[in-house]
């Protein structure tokens, strides 16, 4: 740790109870901190050296930090996607994990420490030397700042009718500091990972190990039973809502009056498409959208919520998204936001491979019925990374 000049820290949910120690280590070593998806709430995103999520749903600063680092400290994480970690032999590795089965599983480390994260870091800190050269961390902080500007700009890209990223971005600046968030598996997990800036005591979770459809609304209900005095927010695609989310609204109707804080907001990404699978087919299989298996019947989700005595809000105008969040977060009962989102907004990973680009192009050439929308929205979104930002 002391010898490295470009230290990267990767944390998971196992580091949640050691947030203070992780911060101290990062500040001593001039390091950046990336977070596995289940560890998104382990450290606030408003710390300038937190690069955000890592992996296919991660950020460009996390990707570049792992690409360029010479030392890797992994704390409480079993992040499995080794293509997003340093190349073998590139970085000297140290891992801390309470589970011996996870030790050395993902990266070849020089030191593997089986221990509670907080205890191990407290023992380590007295031996660490504060780095005088802060250029590595300062460079990361610059790229992180630019990334958040890019995420805002991408969320403001016009769409037909609502850019799904805007639903998340408009909440991010209004997020109560004690909120509990959940995201279903699918495209909502992409925007949860990249667009939401956690701060304060915000907690969040999703199906991080299995990527199972359907947990978004049940997770929020469970959170409300554990902490009835805190607001809960669930993001779910319309596929997950038709799978079990609509039935879980009945559960909410049955119990919400028992909660001291009645706010539970369900935000539905309503695009009548199993959108994540559609994009996976394009990017990985090179095949166009197969509407016979992907198209969903149209449902009035807000109307169903209103029939249960909950608040329902329809949205098909992007300018209504921010005010709708304010209304939902000030409500005296649970709320469902029924948001007509554009299925052609691409969930572009931080580093799209040539193979993914080739497969997507093949899908367009083969007759994808959304080809023009995909190309148009993809170009408008991706170009935000290269346009001048505040620093010029």
Q: What is the pLDDT of residue 209?
A: 78
Are the C-beta atoms of residues 356 and 282 closer than 8 Å to each other?
no
> What is the Cα–Cα distance from 55 to 12, expressed in whole angstroms?
13
Burial of 127 (0-12, 13-18, 19+ CB in 10 A): exposed
Those residues with Cβ within 8 angstroms of residue 67's Cβ, 6 or more apart along the chain or in another chain? 86
> What is the Cα–Cα distance from 30 to 175, expressed in whole angstroms?
29
Are the C-beta atoms of residues 288 and 369 closer than 8 Å to each other?
yes
| Count of CB atoms situated within 10 Å of the CB of 234 | 29
- Its pTM stands at 0.88
∠160-164-165 over CA atoms, to 5°? 125
> What is the Cα–Cα distance from 49 to 241, expressed in whole angstroms?
36
Determine the angle formed by the axes of helices 135-155 and 187-195, rounding to 10 degrees: 130
**Separation of CA 310 from chain center:** 27
The answer for 186, left when phi > 0, alpha when psi is -120 to 50, beta otherwise, is left
Q: Is 231 helix (H, G, I), strand (E, B) or coil?
A: coil
H-helix or E-strand spanning residue 8: strand 7-11
Mark the ranges of the chain whose per-residue pLDDT is less than 70.
Answer: 275-293, 348-392
Are the C-beta atoms of residues 75 and 7 closer than 8 Å to each other?
no
Q: What is the DSSP string of 308-343?
A: TTSEEEEE--GGGHHHHHHHHHT-SS-EEEEEEB-T
Q: State whether the Cα torsion 208-209-215-220 is positive or negative.
A: negative
The full set of domains in the chain, from first to last, is 7-144 (3.40.50.1220), 159-385 (3.40.50.970)
Determine the angle formed by the axes of helices 164-172 and 187-195, rounding to 10 degrees: 40
Q: Residue 182 carries which DSSP code? A: E
């Amino acid at each position: 740790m002391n010898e490295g000049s470009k230290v990267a820290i990767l944390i998971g949910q196992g580091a949640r109870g050691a947030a203070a120690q992780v911060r101290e280590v990062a500040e001593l070593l001039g390091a950046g901190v990336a977070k596995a998806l289940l560890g998104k709430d382990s450290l606030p995103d408003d710390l300038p050296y937190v690069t955000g999520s890592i992996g296919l749903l991660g950020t460009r600063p996390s990707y570049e930090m792992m690409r360029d680092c010479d030392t890797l400290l992994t704390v409480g994480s079993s992040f499995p996607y080794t293509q997003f970690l340093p190349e073998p032999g590139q970085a000297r590795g140290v891992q801390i994990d309470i589970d011996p089965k996870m030790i050395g599983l993902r990266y070849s480390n020089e030191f593997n420490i089986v221990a509670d994260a907080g205890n191990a870091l407290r023992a380590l800190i007295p031996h660490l030397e504060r780095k005088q050269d802060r250029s590595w961390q300062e460079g990361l902080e610059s790229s992180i700042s630019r990334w958040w500007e890019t995420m805002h700009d991408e969320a403001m890209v016009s769409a037909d009718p609502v850019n799904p990223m805007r639903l998340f971005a408009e909440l991010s600046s209004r997020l109560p500091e004690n909120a509990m968030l959940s995201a279903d598996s699918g495209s909502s997990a992409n925007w949860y990972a990249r667009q939401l800036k956690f701060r304060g005591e915000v907690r969040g979770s999703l199906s991080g190990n299995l990527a199972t459809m359907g947990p978004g609304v049940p997770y929020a209900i469970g959170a409300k039973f554990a902490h009835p005095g805190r607001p809960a927010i669930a993001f779910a695609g319309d596929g997950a809502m038709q799978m079990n989310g609509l039935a879980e609204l009945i559960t909410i109707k049955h119990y919400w009056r028992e909660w001291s804080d009645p706010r539970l907001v369900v935000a539905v990404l309503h695009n009548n498409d199993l959108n994540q699978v559609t994009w996976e087919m394009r990017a990985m299989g090179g095949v166009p959208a197969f509407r016979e298996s992907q198209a969903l019947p149209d449902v009035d989700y807000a109307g169903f919520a209103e029939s249960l005595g909950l608040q329902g809000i329809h949205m098909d105008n992007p300018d209504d998204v921010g005010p709708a969040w304010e209304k939902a977060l000030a409500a005296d009962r649970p709320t469902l936001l029924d948001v007509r989102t554009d299925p052609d907004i691409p969930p572009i990973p931080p580093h799209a491979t040539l193979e993914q680009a080739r497969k997507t192009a093949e899908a367009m050439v083969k007759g994808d019925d959304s080809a023009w929308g995909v190309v148009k929205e993809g170009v408008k979104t991706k170009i935000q990374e290269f346009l001048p930002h505040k620093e010029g």
